[in-house]
Amino acid sequence: MSRTAIIAGQGGLPAALAKALDDPLVAALDGFMPAGIEPHIVFRLERLALFLRELHQRGVGRVIFAGAVRRPRLDPSLFDPATATLVPRLLAAMQGGDDATLRAVIALFEEEGFAVEGVEALAPELVPSAGMLSGTADEGMARDAERAAAIVAALGGVDVGQGAVVAQGLCLAVEALPGTDAMLDWVAATREGAGGVFYKAPKPGQDRRVDLPTLGVDTVERVANARLDCIAWEAGGVIVLDRGAVVAAAESHGITLWAR
């Protein structure tokens, strides 16, 4: 049976996946080291063709992308001849936004013969199905969650973000390039009052094998600091890291966790 490679970025997801898989090879993009695990390989995009060749040599047959990365600056002096032929294609995809870039990267791996899998396929326990993980949702939360879901769908349609904060029907913030943490910290620093819903979902039409939104204990703490009372998300579309600790943190703050 072929080996699975975790193409790792920052955060705790690569380590969580490594625990769920049988002897995975962890390969981290240079500059975006995962937390809690030591990669077997550190690679650069300028050497992508050589990296793909090494994966074959190590018996890898399928890959899973996990963790956060930003678009790295490319050093033209480091390109090997094979990778240089891929550059125009990658640069063109980058001009189209994050989704276009991810689709281009997936296509490159698939053309090289690798099966690209998603978290839900290899570690379904990390992607909760519909239900309440903690607390209950009242009518106000339900209305705010519905409003936030519509906002996130609109944002995702233009490849902007995967999250929004809504309180009493009013949008307090939306997620953009700075990310979820920056959005929640901004809400905490600027809002008046309390209550409301933080909502996350994949972008419409997104390839769900990559870049699924992720929630963890740190998210719960930031939601509490922002004086929100609910975290809601699209069931089957969001990764929850260390579910037991997330539920415990939410319960300690009286925060509802709702997979819609």
Angle between helices 180-190 and 217-225 (to 10 degrees): 20
Rounded to whole angstroms, the Cα distance separating 237 from 219 reads 16
52-65: pLDDT as tens digits: 999 999 999 999 99
What percent of the chain shows pLDDT beyond 70? 98
- Retrieve residue 46's tokens: 């300028």
168-222: pLDDT as tens digits: 999 999 999 889 999 999 999 999 999 999 999 998 888 888 888 999 999 999 9
Question: Global pTM?
Answer: 0.86
C-alpha distance from residue 169 to each of 148, 155, 185, 196, 220 (Å): 8, 17, 20, 9, 21
DSSP 234-256: -TTS-EESSHHHHHHHHHHHT-E
DSSP H or E segment with residue 131: strand 131-134
Q: Can you tell me whether residue 170 is helix, strand or coil?
A: strand
Rounded to whole angstroms, the Cα distance separating 129 from 149 reads 17
Length reported for the chain: 260
Residue 189 sits at the vertex; the CA angle it makes with 187 and 192, to the nearest 5 degrees, is 75
112-142: pLDDT as tens digits: 999 999 999 999 999 999 999 999 999 999 9
Q: Do 185 and 222 contact (CB within 8 A), yes or no? A: yes
Give me the domains of the chain, ranges plus CATH numbers. 3-122 (3.40.50.20), 127-259 (3.40.140.80)
Q: Say which residues have a Cβ less than 8 Å from residue 17's Cβ, sequence separation at least 6.
A: 6, 24, 64, 66, 119, 122, 123, 126
